[in-house]
């Protein structure tokens, strides 16, 4: 009897496996991709073990035909990887209920929650972006610039001291992440995040980061559940900051950080609604604002860390570029005057900005922008993406299409005489495209330019090189395989007093 039950069980498993394979092959059709996949988990194990190798293979498969895309299967989900720039634009321009839904992460809704800026579309999404716009005016950006420089300087000094104390190289990845987290906290919610809250915030954000790279096993004690619960606490903390900002501005305070610029118009809309007897405007409750602030934090944090690490790596391996940056910055910023880099001086750093843009092109931090097909969608004349498919437009692959000598790190391409940022604009997708294009890209670029200017001016540095140290690894954005190990020493006679 036991053997009979076991035989039925094995037969059932084989039948399920067979049906699953048929469904996969029916969706895949003639698209390049594996012919057989493991039942239930598909190729999730190779993805988790070595994301770089997995996505490189998908890119190679996409290159193997004229289609420009490839297929695979992960945790019960059929996926399509898109290498073609034009097909990626087709995805970005068709974010709507009956086409594609931006999801940010294959299991993002479980982590971020349903009511998230990432998942919004249509008029609701437009209204929220309109409310966010005051966060990135020239006046607001100039205030952020001052805050950014002070924090960057504090951390650079600490890094140099670490190298001096240890008489060895240091790994920059976690140090950059901590610097960016402090910068985001200070720029976004400024004085409203108390010291104890900051400490807990840092712990929770680390839990969230770890969970991003794990399978969506939502069981007690699992990394994924720890991440999901951490997000809830982070949003709650940020909602308290929104409440404090409202009180500060209502008492006559001036904007000091991003949440203040945001709340100015929000408070006016709340007041107008109250006066007319209408309900409060959408997206104006503290908890909603806290959720959207977390979206900003997520967008700014890891992508920025990736770009800073690649800036250091690429400047070290391109001394002629480093020399030009130092020459330009020295003409505009006198360290001995103990003054901040002004917004005007920042705008005049044309070559340094070109370097920043080339870093973002050459090593697009968020390499993939996952969407899910809400309905069957005709991607090409011969292929329809089935409903429920997770689609991965690769902005990384697009960055190496169109541009002359695309495999070469060459900042001059973004200078005024070449204007490749305009000529090949469709291939420069690091900040996305369409309705969900990054609203804070100017802020992100300013942060990268400021870091490059200050790091190269104040510090002498060299990479602690090892085999494969500059290879790409996913954490979850991309960074150098060795986490960017460097030797640092003070370059300037004395640090500026900012």
pLDDT tens for 315-332 read 999 999 999 999 999 999
Asked if 361 contacts 448 with a C-beta cutoff of 8 angstroms, the reply is no
Question: How many other C-beta atoms can be found within 10 angstroms of the C-beta atom of residue 155?
Answer: 18
Q: What is the b/e burial string over 179-214, where b = at least 16 CB atoms within 10 angstroms of the residue's CB?
A: bbbbbbbbbbbbebbeeebbeebeebbbbbbebbee
Nearest to 285 by CA among 231, 235, 249: 235
Report whether 128 contacts 439 (CB < 8 A). Answer: no
Does residue 480 sit in helix, strand or coil? strand
**Could you tell me where the beta strands, DSSP code E, fall in 67-125?**
69-74, 77-82, 100-102
Q: What is the pLDDT of residue 242?
A: 93
pLDDT averaged over the chain?
90
479 is in an annotated binding site: no
pLDDT(2) > 60: no
Residue 200 inside a domain? The answer is: no
Task: Judge contact between 428 and 445, C-beta under 8 A.
Answer: no
Asked whether the bond before 476 is cis by omega within 30 degrees of 0, the reply is: yes
Band (202; pLDDT cuts 50, 70, 90): confident
Whether residue 214 lies inside any domain: the answer is no
> Mean per-residue pLDDT for 198-224?
78
Within a domain: residue 155?
A: no
Model confidence band, residue 496 (pLDDT cutoffs 50, 70, 90): very high
Q: How far apart are the first and last CA of the chain?
A: 81
Mean pLDDT, range 484-495, rounded to an integer: 95
Distance (Å, rounded) from C-alpha 310 to C-alpha 298?
Answer: 19
| Residue numbers of the domain that contains 32 | 1-110+376-398
Mean pLDDT for 262-285 is 89
What the block records as the tokens of 59 is 């890119």
Query: So what's the pLDDT on residue 1?
Result: 46
Round to whole Å and give the CA distance between 357 and 350: 11
More confidently predicted of 115 and 227: 227
pLDDT at residue number 282: 84
Q: In the chain, pLDDT over 90 holds for what percent of residues?
A: 63
402 contacts 382 by C-beta, under 8 angstroms: no
Does any domain span residue 43? yes
Q: How confident is the model at residue 300 (pLDDT cuts 50, 70, 90)?
A: confident
The string of pLDDT tens digits covering residues 44-86 is 889 988 999 999 999 999 999 999 999 999 988 999 999 999 9
pLDDT at residue 113, as a whole number: 67
Beta bridge partners of 76: none
pLDDT tens digits, residue range 401-457? 999 999 999 999 999 999 998 899 999 999 888 888 888 899 999 999 999 999 999
Determine how many CB atoms are found less than 10 A away from the CB of residue 353: 22
pLDDT confidence band for 107 (50 / 70 / 90) = low
Task: Name which of 13-17, 35-39, 146-150, 344-348 the model is least confident about.
Answer: 13-17
Q: What is the pLDDT of residue 490?
A: 96
Number of domains in the chain: 1
Burial of residue 487 (number of CB atoms within 10 Å: 0-12, 13-18, 19+): middle
Pairing of strands 69-74, 377-378: unpaired
Tell me, yes or no, whether 226 lies in a domain: no
Residue 106 lies in a domain: yes
Cα-Cα-Cα-Cα torsion 80, 85, 86, 91, nearest 10 degrees, comes to 50
Give the tens place of pLDDT for each residue, 369-400.
999 999 999 999 999 999 999 999 999 999 99
DSSP state of 454: H
Q: Tens digits of per-residue pLDDT, 142-158? A: 999 999 999 999 999 99
Tell me if 130 is assigned to some domain.
Answer: no
Which residue is it, tokens 């720029």?
187
Among residues 391, 370, 230, 210, which one has the least CA distance to residue 302? 210
- Cα–Cα distance measured from residue 458 to residue 11, given in angstroms and rounded to the nearest whole number: 68
In a domain, 19, yes or no: yes
Task: Give the distance, in angstroms, between the CA of residue 230 and the centroid of all CA atoms in the same chain.
Answer: 19
């Amino acid at each position: 009897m036991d053997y009979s039950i076991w035989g039925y069980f094995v037969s059932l498993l084989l039948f399920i496996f067979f049906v699953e394979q048929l469904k996969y092959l029916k969706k895949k059709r003639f698209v390049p991709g594996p012919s057989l996949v493991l039942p239930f988990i598909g190729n999730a194990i190779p993805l988790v073990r070595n994301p770089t190798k997995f996505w490189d293979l998908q890119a190679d498969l996409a290159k193997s035909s004229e289609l420009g895309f490839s297929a695979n299967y992960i945790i019960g989900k059929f996926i399509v990887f898109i290498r073609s720039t034009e097909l990626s634009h087709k995805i970005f321009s068709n974010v709507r209920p009956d086409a594609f839904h931006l999801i940010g992460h294959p299991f993002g809704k479980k982590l971020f929650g349903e009511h998230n800026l990432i998942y919004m579309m249509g008029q609701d999404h437009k209204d929220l972006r309109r409310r966010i716009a005051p966060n990135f005016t020239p006046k607001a950006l100039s205030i952020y610039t001052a805050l950014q420089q002070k924090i960057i300087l504090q951390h650079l000094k600490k890094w140099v001291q670490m190298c001096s104390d240890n008489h060895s190289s240091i790994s920059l990845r976690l140090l950059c992440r901590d610097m960016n987290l402090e910068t985001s906290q200070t720029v976004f919610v400024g004085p409203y995040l108390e010291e104890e809250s900051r400490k807990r915030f840092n712990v929770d954000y680390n839990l969230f980061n770890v969970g991003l790279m794990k399978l969506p096993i939502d069981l007690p004690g699992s990394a994924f559940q720890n991440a999901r619960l951490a997000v809830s606490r982070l949003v709650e903390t940020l909602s308290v900051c929104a409440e404090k900002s409202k009180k500060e501005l209502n008492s006559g305070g001036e904007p000091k950080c991003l949440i203040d610029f945001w709340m100015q118009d929000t408070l006016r809309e709340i007041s107008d609604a109250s006066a007319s007897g209408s309900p409060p405007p959408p997206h104006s409750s503290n908890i909603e604002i806290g959720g959207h602030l977390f979206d900003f934090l997520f967008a700014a944090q890891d992508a920025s860390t990736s770009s800073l690490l690649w800036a250091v790596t690429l400047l070290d391996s391109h001394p002629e570029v480093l020399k030009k940056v130092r020459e330009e910055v020295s003409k505009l910023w006198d360290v001995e005057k103990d003054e901040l880099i002004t917004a005007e001086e920042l705008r005049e750093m044309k070559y340094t900005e070109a370097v920043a843009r080339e870093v973002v092109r050459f090593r697009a931090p968020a390499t993939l922008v996952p969407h899910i097909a809400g309905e069957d969608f005709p991607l090409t004349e011969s292929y329809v993406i089935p409903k429920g498919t997770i689609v991965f437009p690769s902005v990384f692959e697009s960055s190496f299409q169109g541009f002359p000598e695309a495999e070469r790190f060459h900042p001059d391409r973004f200078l005024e005489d070449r204007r490749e940022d305009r000529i090949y604009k469709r291939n420069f997708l690091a900040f996305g495209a369409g309705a969900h294009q990054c609203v804070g890209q100017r802020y992100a670029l300013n942060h990268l330019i400021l870091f490059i200017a200050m790091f190269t001016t104040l510090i002498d540095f060299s990479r602690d090189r090892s085999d494969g140290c500059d290879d790409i690894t996913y954490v979850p954005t991309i960074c150098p395989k060795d986490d960017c190990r460097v030797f640092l020493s003070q370059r300037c006679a004395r640090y500026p007093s900012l």
